[in-house]
Structure formats: structure tokens, C-alpha cells
Amino acid sequence: MFKKLYISSLVGLVTSFLSISAFSLESGSEANSAVSVVPDNQIYTVKANSTSNSTILGGTVMPHKMVNLIAQMPGEVKNIAGEEGDSFSTGTRLVGLDTSALMEKRRAAVAGFNSAKAGLANAQVQYQREALSPNSMSNSMLGGAPSMFSMFNDPIRSMTGQGDPDFERHSSMFGQGIQIQTARDQIEQALAGINEIDANLENTQSIAPFDGVIIKKIVEVGDIVQPGMPLVDFADTSTMQIQVEIPARLISNLNSNSVINARLDRAEAPILVRVSRIFPMASSGGHTTTVKFELPEGTDARPGMYAEVMIPTARNDSAPLAMIPKSSINWRGSLPAVFMISDDLTSLKMRTLRLGSSSGNMVTVLSGISIGDKILKNPLASTRSGPYRASAQ
């Protein structure tokens, strides 16, 4: 009995051990299938290239001329000339605000101007009447008797010191002259009010300052705007430029006649661009100088596109640069990237790059990786950072 129990226990232990061993082997095989070692034919060791004598800098394609039209008066947007991409000539009204309230104010100002003109005409007539017929109003009421009495009274008043007829005459004429001047001032005030309203009416219209296209529409018909609010962005896209921020150490290699190579967003073939303007002052934040390069006519470029320019560097300053095959570059939008391989060859890590000039199937790298790093030769679009999985390649 005891012997049979011992044999049964021994058989159970052996069975459990075999089950655990089988499970461990299955788990190991699953782990090995999930995480693999990068094969040698997929590894590229970054080499050095010291022949490059240019630095690649990124920039943005900009129109030759661009304005941001803003509201100068409060009001409701009544009309917009078109949509993004529509072309307009110089002087075209692009955005118009409601002018009904201003037009009513102008009618009131014109009425005040007409009243001031009538007041001036009346003051001038009264002045002429006082000059030609003094005290004509009071004389007409008594049949001219006061004028007869004044022939006798005026000399007596002057002799007795009771009055000065000459000074009274001067005062009366001066008062009539003041009425004329007041009427003229009222005309000037009314005219200034009309001119102010006319200027405000002009400010309700946003006019195209040059031939161009609407590149961005910010408001719609019916919107209520306040002074300073943006309306539309208007640009002359017939001539395009690349705007680049260039470090101080490279700006001395350029002048107003420099012609260098440039490359539009992921384009293979370079194009020649000429320096259009070098700004006289560097930015205090990045210590870089803004430079604009003029693109050749007919270049298929749009505002806001990413572009790269190849700034020449002095040969004695050139240091060895990393060089990698183009097949190892994985584009993430407009940003180039590679996948670095870990020392144990089991994991990947994505690194973004700044590329330099290319030669055949090879391209130099300005930053992002170092000489001697190991990278994946042919990454796929589905490749991601993390453990290397052969099934995903």
C-alpha cells in the first residue's frame, strides 16, 4: 500500500515538471518571435564625410508683398469681394462695412453747413447796412426823427462828456464784423465735421493696395467687427521669396548678389535663388539675421511651404559630417528621421534630422545623429520606436 502511494506521487511530480518545462519553452518561443535582433543586412554604421562646405537651413516661402487688412471702424461686415485664391487689381474694395449710420450723420453735418452759410450771408448784409445807413432800424420807426435830433445832440453830448458818438459808431461796426467772423467759423466747423465723416466712410472700406490675391479670409458677411480686428490677408504671389533666419557666423558668407542652391519641400532637384534682402539688425533672442531669397519666376511654390537653402561655409571651418543613405530616411510629414539601433541590436529609437547636401544616393546630416551610430537601412512607414520586430519589417 505504501509502495503504491510513493509511486503515484513520483509520477505526479514528473508530470508537473514536464508541463512547466513545456510552458516555459512555449513562452520563450513566443517572446523570441515578438522581439528579434536586427539582422546585419539591415544595419548601417554612419560614416564621415568631410567634403561638404555648405550648411542647410530651413525657411518658409513667403509672398513678395503681403498685407494684413484690419478694421479701422466698428460696424457690421456688409460685403466681401471674394474667397481665398481670388485675384483683384489695385483699388478694388475687398471688404465693406455698413455705412447707414455714418450717412445719416453726414446729412446732419451738411444741414449744419448750409445753415452756417446762410448765417454768414446775413451777417455780411447787416454789416453793409450798418456801414451805409447807421441806426437805420430805429430811424425807420420814427420817420427819421432820431437822425435829425442826433445832429444837435451829438455835439452837445461830446462837449458835456455824456457820450462819444464816434466810439459808439466804431463799436457798432465792430459788433457787426464779429458776427461775420462767427458765421465763418461756424462754416469751418461744419466743413470739418463733413470731412471727418467722409474719412470715416473711407475707413469702412478695405481697399486692395496692389494687384494680388486673398490668401486668408478671417471674417464673414454679418460679422460685427471692432477697430483692430483682422479682416483678410492679401498678398502679391506673382513673386515668391524664401525667408530664413541665418546664424551670425554664416551671414558674412552672403552679400546682395549671392546666388545659392535651395530646395523646396522634399523636392529632389535644387533651384537657384538670389539674395533679395539682408536685414540690417539681428534678432536679440536667437542672434540670427533675417535674409530673404528671391525664387525664380514660374517656380511652383505656395506661401507657407517649407524650404531649405544651402548656405556656403568657409572650407577651413568645415568639420566631418555624418553621411547616410537616402533609403534610411523615414519622412514624417516634412521632417526627415532615422531609427537608431540599440547596442544590443534589439530596439529602435527615432531621431529627427537636419539634412545637408546630397550626392547620388547619399546625403549628409548636419544634426540628429553622430558618426559611428548604427541606424536601420530600410525602415518602413509602419516602423516605430521600441523593440525591433522582424515581422513588422
At 330-366, the pLDDT tens digits run 887 778 899 999 988 889 999 988 777 677 788 878 7
Q: pLDDT: is 88 or 158 the higher one?
A: 88
Does the structure show a pLDDT above 50 at 306?
A: yes
Nearest Cα neighbor of 335 from 308, 359, 374, 358 is 308
Nearest Cα neighbor of 328 from 375, 277, 272 is 375
Q: pLDDT: is 186 or 314 the higher one?
A: 186
Q: What is the pLDDT of residue 165?
A: 56
Q: What is the pLDDT of residue 146?
A: 52
* Mean pLDDT, the chain, whole residue set: 80
Does the structure show a pLDDT above 70 at 153?
A: no
The whole-angstrom separation of Cα 260 and Cα 356 is: 14
Nearest Cα neighbor of 225 from 83, 73, 68, 78 is 73
Element (H, E) at 294: strand 288-294
Q: What is the pLDDT of residue 164?
A: 57
Where residue 314 falls among pLDDT bands split at 50, 70, 90? low
Average pLDDT over every residue of 110-132: 86
Does the structure show a pLDDT above 60 at 52?
A: no
- The SS3 of residue 328 is helix
Does the structure show a pLDDT above 50 at 156?
A: yes
**What one-character DSSP code corresponds to residue 30?**
H
Instruction: Check: CB of residue 376 under 8 Å from CB of residue 37.
Output: no
Q: What is the pLDDT of residue 392?
A: 56
Nearest Cα neighbor of 225 from 66, 80, 389, 51 is 80
- Residues sharing a CB contact under 8 Å with residue 68, sequence separation 6 or more, in sequence order: 230, 233
Record the cell numbers describing residue 338, joined without a space: 532615422
Q: pLDDT: is 82 or 153 the higher one?
A: 82
Where residue 24 falls among pLDDT bands split at 50, 70, 90? very low
Q: What is the pLDDT of residue 216?
A: 92
Does the structure show a pLDDT above 60 at 302?
A: yes
Average pLDDT over every residue of 228-254: 89
Average pLDDT over every residue of 28-35: 48
The whole-angstrom separation of Cα 86 and Cα 88 is: 7
Q: What is the pLDDT of residue 87?
A: 92
Does the structure show a pLDDT above 80 at 98?
A: yes
Instruction: Check: CB of residue 83 under 8 Å from CB of residue 217.
Output: yes
Whose cell is 460685427? That residue is 224
Phi, psi of 225 (to 5 degrees): -115, 155
Looking at mean pLDDT, say which of 9-23, 191-205, 270-284 comes out highest: 191-205
Average pLDDT over every residue of 204-231: 93
**What one-character DSSP code corresponds to residue 86?**
-
Does the structure show a pLDDT above 90 at 148?
A: no
